[in-house]
Structure formats: structure tokens, C-alpha cells
Amino acid sequence: MVKPEKLIENGIRLDGRKPDELRPIKIKVGVLNRADGSCYFEFGANKVIAAVYGPREVHPRHMQKSTSAVVRYKYNMASFSVEDRKRPGPDRRSIEVSKVSREALEPVIFQEYFPRSAIDIFVEVLQADAGTRTAGINAASLALADAGIPMKSLVSACAVGKVDDTLVLDLNKDEDNYGQADMPIAMTPDGKITLLQMDGHLSSDEFKEGLEMAKKGCLEIAQLQRAALLEKYSSQIVGEVNE
């Protein structure tokens, strides 16, 4: 795609959203039977699946910590997740995303409850459209809860950015490619920030305003996450009545 002339026209973005509007979200908890916890998450055109295993024995042994669990997070993009085939396997970008995502979740997990064990989180991106790390964090936090792992709270994540000199919530691919700034943020429902990255330029006023927008976005996502978790068990009841 060539750079569009304008990314925002009359206050409406290319995909028809208002500047402070999230993309449509679809969540399903407990999609994988072999995993201890799992979640499928759609964030606009992003499609990610998260699986959680553990707490379980640590392999290799030398990674284990004697007083707490180790959390391992593996973010991976499928080769077919983007238009030009992505070379499979870990690369610099996915190692970075794995690290920051792990650090976004670690503060809420009660790691000290499980000494000498590992909690493994795997996030697979099936389709990417800017904002996969935030989608991954959202999915992983639900998969952790689904696995019954004790946590202080869920974690929600979304991005803010600047396109055509306007702050916008939750950038899509074109806005990310041709915009001026992109700032993914993860936080707990009570407003503790666990991830904040920024690419591009924002003035300090824009930063503050953007942060507030992201907070609102994260709260909205938190509501959907809660509904999705509760849904897992209410849908079972419906199934039973029909049987």
C-alpha cells in the first residue's frame, strides 16, 4: 500500500473509527485442551492465541529459582501472519517482544507461591495488523487466569499513537506504518503501568494526553476480558441444559 494522502479525514480514521475508538475485540477462553490455560484473542485484524503451561518442572534445571517460579514468555509470529512471508523462528524483534511482555505480566503473578517451578506462556500470532504485542499480553493474561495461576489482577494492553498530528487509540497497520508515533501500554485495572514503550515523537503534553487515552482503552479491554472469563463457565451451563 502506498502512503495515503490523509490518515484522518473530518475526524474519522481510514477504517471509520473515531480517534479514541478501539478496534473490535473478540475473545474466547479455554480453546486448547492440552494446555493448562488458553485464550484466543482478536484485536481488529490481529489474531493471536495464547497457551499457558504450569507451574511445572523447570527444564533446563539451571534456570530454576529456589524461592520463586520462573516465568517464560515466548512470542512467535507465524510465517503466514504478514503479507510478505516472515522468516520463521525467533528474531531480534520477537525476542524483544517476549522480554517486554514477560515483564508486563510478572508483576501481577504470585511467583513466590511456586518455588523451583516454571510458568510457560506461549503466544502465537496467526495474523498481524499492528499491535500484536498488546493483543498477546491481553490473551496471555487471560490464559494465566484460566490456568488457575494466582495473580493480583489481570493485565490489559493497548497502544496510542500520533497520525496526522492527532492522537489516536489503537493504531492499525497503515497508521503504524505512516504515523508519527506509536506507544504500546499495558496496565492493571487499577492503573499500574507494567509496560510502556514508545517509537516516534510525542511532546510531553501529547504524552500525558495519550496516556489518559490508553488508560481508558485498557479499562474497556479489562471489561471485555472479565466478560470472556465468566463466559467460559456460563456457556457450559447452557450446553448442559440443551443436552
Partner 1 sequence: MKMDKKLVIPGDFLSDDVKLADEGTYVEDGKVFSSVFGIVSINKQIRVVPLSGKYIPKRDDIVIGIVTEVSFSNWIVDIRSPYEGLLHISEFPRRIDNADMSKYLKAGDSIMALVSDVDESMKVELTLNDQRLRQIKDGRVIEVTPSKVPRLIGRNGSMIAMLKNETVCNIFIAQNGRVWLTGKDKNIDLAVRTIQKIEKESHISGLTERIVKFLKEEKGIPVKERVKKTAEEKSGGILDELLDK
* Whole-number Å distance between alpha carbons of 194 and 183: 13
Residues numbered 205-234 forming contacts with partner 1, rule: CB under 8 A: 226, 229-230, 233-234
18 binds partner 1 (CB under 8 A): no
Please state the closest distance from residue 127 (CB atom) to partner 1, in A: 11
24 binds partner 1 (CB under 8 A): no
The conformation of residue 125, written as its DSSP 8-state character, comes to E
122 binds partner 1 (CB under 8 A): no
End-to-end CA gap in the chain: 50
116 binds partner 1 (CB under 8 A): yes
Please state the closest distance from residue 32 (CB atom) to partner 1, in A: 7
112 binds partner 1 (CB under 8 A): no
Q: What is the H or E stretch that residue 122 is in?
A: strand 117-127
* Whole-number Å distance between alpha carbons of 130 and 1: 15
99 binds partner 1 (CB under 8 A): no
Among 8, 45, 82, 151, binds partner 1 (CB under 8 A): 151
Number of residues that bind partner 1 (CB under 8 A): 42
Instruction: Give the three-class secondary structure for 157.
Output: strand
Residue 160 contacts residue 213 (beta carbons within 8 Å): yes
